[in-house]
Amino acid sequence: MKIKLSLLSMADAKALFEFETENKEFFEEFVPPRPDSYFIYAKFIHILEMLLEEQKDKKSLFFLIKGENGGIIGRINLIDIDWSSKTAEVGYRVGKNHIGKGSAVQALEMLKSEALLLGIERINAKTTVDNIPSQKVLERCSFQKDTVEMDEFIHYTVAL
């Protein structure tokens, strides 16, 4: 599947809300749940506005993973960007109907290239110990396992 990354904008609000709502139960199988308020559209818009402000300030960059038809199939973000140490954290999620097709690996490789162009030299990630699919994605994208935090999270890092 051919994908592209698209920087988050308010124009994507409705489609993103639908994506998050449709995949809520699936995502909660692997990651801690979002607060209930996230799934109330007016509150979602407020959260989105805060994210866009953070993006404008270059503290984080939020990307949508879009399929060939332009529909949202996932998200991938660089957060907690530290421009002085040239590091960032990555987080990603792919919708239930799009897993197992290589989209997460493609998106993460694209994000690594984008981060390098921006001057970021190291990306950190973490996943729950039982999220095997995410661990496989990170390892396929050259992330190295660092530590396991109290049997809950595995920390990874990759130098660009």
CATH number of the domain residue 119 falls in: 3.40.630.30
Percent of the chain with pLDDT over 70: 100
What does the mean pLDDT of the chain come to?
95
> How long a stretch of residues is the chain?
160
**Domain count along the chain:** 1
pLDDT score of 30 more than 90: no
Contact 72, 15 (CB under 8 A): yes
Band (152; pLDDT cuts 50, 70, 90) = confident
Percent of the chain with pLDDT over 90: 86
- What range does the domain containing 88 cover? 4-159
pLDDT score of 45 more than 90: yes
H helical segments located in the chain: 13-28, 41-56, 103-118, 132-140
pLDDT score of 16 more than 80: yes
